[in-house]
């Protein structure tokens, strides 16, 4: 949490730092130590990728960040909810040092998703307006849909084709309910909204950042929402967040 007396100064420094980061002009990469501590809200699903079938958790991941270096990394301290961009590596409860990374260069070491896919992920972050971080039981379907949308964008989105390149039944990823069968109607409805936003929302906020490792699963997070704020257990509920998205 940020002390209210420091919040305005922190915001200005953070925005300035992230502007530099997104422009790719940081000479030396900021780093942060990262440790996986468990899962929060989401659903188990079954994925098919490159001929292999995987049963995985799709949703909010809990990570503790500490010992950050650099202007951005030093601001990342505490417990955060994250989403992953990387289906080829695993989270680890052993502390690893990650780099603060441009989304376009993730996942590592796979070579990166490119700027158009990175922008599509920023778009769904902006569209969701924080609902992806609501840590309540009624948000399990949205948290799962958000993670599935991140994966689908990172592996399948084609900006030349647009919205029609996104779908769970074709492409590099095939996504089903756990054990097979179609996803629930609630998850599919959320996915449709997120896929629309990926192509159309055009979000340019500086709050979405990546943390990347050559040896552990890459993550994305909102640096301005550490836990317990990320849980949003009081105050702004799902209805308020939905209304916030509609006003954008």
Backbone angles phi, psi at 85, to 5 degrees: -110, 5
- Looking up tokens 């509920």 gives 237
| Backbone conformation region of residue 42, classed left if phi is above 0, alpha if psi is from -120 to 50, else beta | left
pLDDT in tens, 140-186: 999 999 999 999 999 999 999 999 999 999 999 999 999 999 999 99
Residues 36 and 80: beta-carbon distance below 8 Å: no
What mean pLDDT do residues 192-199 have? Answer: 96
Tokens encoding 140: 């399990």
Model confidence pTM above 0.75: yes
Domain that holds residue 104: 4-247
According to the model, what pLDDT value does residue 201 have? 87
Residue 198 has pLDDT above 50, yes or no: yes
The DSSP code sequence of 43-78 is EEEEEEETTEEEEEEEEEEEEEEEEEEHHHHTT--E
The DSSP code sequence of 180-223 is SSPPPHHHHHHHHHHHHHHHH-----S-EEEEE-SSS--EEEET
CA distance 221 to 224: 9
Number of domains in the chain: 1
Mean pLDDT of the chain: 84
CA distance 196 to 130: 17
């Amino acid at each position: 949490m940020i002390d209210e007396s420091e919040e305005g100064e922190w915001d200005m420094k953070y925005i300035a730092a992230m502007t530099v980061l997104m422009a790719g002009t940081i000479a030396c990469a900021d780093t942060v130590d990262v440790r996986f501590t468990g899962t929060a809200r989401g659903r188990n699903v079954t994925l098919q990728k490159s001929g292999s079938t995987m049963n995985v958790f799709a949703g909010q991941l809990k990570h503790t960040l500490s010992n950050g270096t650099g202007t951005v990394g030093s601001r990342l301290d505490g417990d955060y909810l994250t989403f992953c961009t990387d289906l080829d590596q695993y989270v680890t409860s052993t502390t690893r040092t990650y780099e603060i990374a441009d989304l376009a260069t993730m996942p590592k070491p796979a070579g990166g998703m490119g700027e158009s896919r990175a922008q599509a992920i920023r778009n769904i972050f902006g569209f969701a307006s924080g609902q992806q971080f609501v840590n309540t039981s009624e948000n399990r379907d949205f948290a799962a849909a958000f993670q599935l949308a991140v994966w689908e964008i990172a592996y399948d989105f084609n900006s030349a084709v647009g919205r029609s390149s996104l779908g769970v039944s074709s492409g590099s990823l095939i996504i089903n309910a756990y054990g097979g069968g179609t996803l629930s109607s609630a998850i599919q409805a959320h996915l449709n909204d997120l896929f629309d936003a990926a192509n159309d929302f055009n979000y340019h906020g500086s709050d979405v950042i990546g943390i990347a490792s050559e040896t552990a699963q890459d993550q994305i997070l909102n640096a301005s929402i550490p836990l317990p704020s990320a849980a949003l257990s009081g105050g702004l509920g799902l209805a308020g967040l939905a209304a916030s998205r509609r006003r954008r």
